[in-house]
């Protein structure tokens, strides 16, 4: 099924209407898109949070931003598990947008090996 919708391009007095077509889902920016997205990823977030809590770590979510907090030996494998939890709902992680925040002095050979094991850039 193809859905046609409206999107406004530009800003202020320079805004112009354009149409778009999509085969599935909701156009990003649509009022219903964010709540629906949050509902869809809720179970993956909950499962990941449960797994991390067992290890004394946490996941923080704010709409479509997710942060897994923990040392590399816990966080990196959990990223891979999180991706596996998202797959059944048709989502995949965009590894080019994943960031790892750690002190330069903590980036050991083990750190690099763990990153490579889960295909993180």
Express each pLDDT in 57-90 by its tens digit.
999 888 778 999 989 999 999 999 999 999 998 8
The pLDDT score that the predictor gives to residue 64 is 79
- What stretches in the chain show pLDDT beneath 50? 1-4
Does the global pTM surpass 0.85? no
The pLDDT score that the predictor gives to residue 7 is 57
Reference 68, options 104, 102, 96, 34; nearest CA is 102
Q: Into how many domains does the chain fold? A: 2
Is 22 found in the same domain as 40? Answer: no
Is 24 found in the same domain as 37? Answer: no
The pLDDT score that the predictor gives to residue 21 is 59
- Decide: helix, strand or coil at residue 31: coil
- The parent domain of residue 24 ranges over 1-30
Please check whether residue 58 is in contact with residue 69, taking contact to mean a CB–CB distance below 8 angstroms.
yes
Please check whether residue 111 is in contact with residue 72, taking contact to mean a CB–CB distance below 8 angstroms.
yes
* C-alpha separations of 12 from 9, 19, 22, 66, 109 in Å: 10, 18, 26, 32, 52
Is 51 found in the same domain as 35? Answer: yes
């Amino acid at each position: 099924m193809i859905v046609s919708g409206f999107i406004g391009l530009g800003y202020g007095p320079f805004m112009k209407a354009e149409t778009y077509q999509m085969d599935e889902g909701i156009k990003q920016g649509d009022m219903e898109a964010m709540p629906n997205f949050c509902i869809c990823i809720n179970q993956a977030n909950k499962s990941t949070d449960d797994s991390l809590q067992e290890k004394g770590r946490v996941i923080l979510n704010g709409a479509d931003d997710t942060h897994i907090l923990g040392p590399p030996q816990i966080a990196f494998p959990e990223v891979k598990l999180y991706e596996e939890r998202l797959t059944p709902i048709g989502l995949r992680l965009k590894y080019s947008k994943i960031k790892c925040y750690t002190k330069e002095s903590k980036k050991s050979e083990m750190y690099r090996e763990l990153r490579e094991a889960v295909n993180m850039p």
